[in-house]
């Protein structure tokens, strides 16, 4: 199975900050990577697919980049709604696998 | 945005089976398929598999082979997940999501809590 490792596990930041979350794959996944946001008690929300494509309706402050084994999710200016847990997921090979999550909390 | 409406919470005994439904609101099925993931209490996301909307082709995570089935009824725009021989570590919230393209699902439903006890 392809292992996905996110860093950091927890990130403390303030409204207005620019933050970056990293996701590393144990082998090349080309650009078959998605990013999700999950708020407590809610379903995961798709933010980015194919590493850098913004899902319809997602604010432009979210962006994704990377290919191969290293990927980043950047939020350009944190808003109160953005404090949540973020997951990356590869869909290059079966079984599709998720990172362990990054908890973005208010500083 | 087309939402997915899932069936209600279930409580099952070990060894039993559970069938969770997922209906596309507005009778609009996704072009590609339906994906299923689960989340145990306090844990991360675990991918279970997906089913093609019109092909009915399925891909499951190997660890669930023999216990997991996914079906789809295009006439009622409803997808189903059935998990057999339940164990306590199957206790989780199960989510379905729309696949408009391969791989990245839009999880618009509320989730279904399955408790095995």
A33 or B102: which carries more pLDDT confidence?
A33
Sign of the dihedral through C-alpha A39, A43, A45, A46: positive
Q: Is A50 within 8 Å of chain B by CB?
A: yes
CB A63 within 8 A of CB A71: no
Q: Tell me: the pLDDT tens digits for B63-117? A: 998 999 999 998 898 999 999 999 999 999 999 999 988 889 999 889 999 999 9
Q: Tell me: the pLDDT tens digits for B8-41? A: 999 999 999 999 999 988 768 888 999 999 999 9
Which tokens is B4 given? 């997915």
Residue A84: per-residue pLDDT? 97
What burial class does residue B68 get, using C-beta atoms within 10 Å of its C-beta: 0-12 exposed, 13-18 middle, 19+ buried?
Answer: middle
Taking CB atoms and an 8 Å limit, are B104 and A100 in contact across chains?
no
List of chain A residues whose C-beta atoms are within 8 Å of the C-beta of residue B9: none
In chain B, the DSSP E strands lie at 4-6, 10-12, 18-24, 33-39, 45-52, 58-60, 68-73, 78-83, 92-99, 112-116
What burial class does residue B66 get, using C-beta atoms within 10 Å of its C-beta: 0-12 exposed, 13-18 middle, 19+ buried?
Answer: exposed
pLDDT over 90 (residue A38): yes
Portion of chain A with pLDDT greater than 90, in percent: 100
Q: Which residue in B8, B1, B4, B9 sits closest to B33, CA to CA?
A: B4
Q: Is A87 within 8 Å of chain B by CB?
A: yes
From B1, B102, B109, residue closest to A91, measured CB to CB: B102
pLDDT over 80 (residue A7): yes
């Amino acid at each position: 199975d392809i292992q996905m490792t996110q860093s950091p596990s927890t990130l403390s930041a303030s409204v207005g900050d620019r933050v970056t979350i990293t996701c590393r794959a144990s082998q090349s996944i080309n650009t078959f990577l998605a990013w999700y946001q999950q708020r407590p008690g809610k379903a995961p929300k798709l933010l980015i697919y194919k590493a850098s494509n913004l899902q319809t309706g997602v604010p432009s402050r979210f962006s994704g980049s990377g290919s191969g084994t290293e990927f980043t999710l950047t939020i350009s200016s944190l808003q109160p709604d953005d404090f949540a847990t973020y997951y990356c997921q590869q869909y290059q090979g079966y079984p599709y696998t998720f990172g362990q999550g990054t908890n973005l909390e208010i500083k | 945005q087309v939402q997915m409406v899932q069936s209600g919470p279930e409580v099952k005994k070990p060894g039993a089976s559970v069938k969770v439904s997922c209906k596309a609101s507005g009778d609009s099925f996704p072009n590609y398929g339906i994906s299923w993931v689960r989340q145990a209490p306090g844990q991360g996301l675990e991918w279970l598999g997906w089913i093609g909307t019109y092909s009915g082709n399925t891909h499951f995570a190997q660890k669930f082979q023999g216990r997991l089935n996914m079906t789809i009824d295009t006439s009622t725009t409803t997808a189903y997940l059935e998990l057999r021989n339940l164990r306590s570590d199957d206790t989780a919230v199960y989510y379905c999501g729309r696949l408009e393209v391969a791989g990245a699902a839009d999880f618009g439903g509320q989730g279904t809590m399955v408790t095995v006890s």
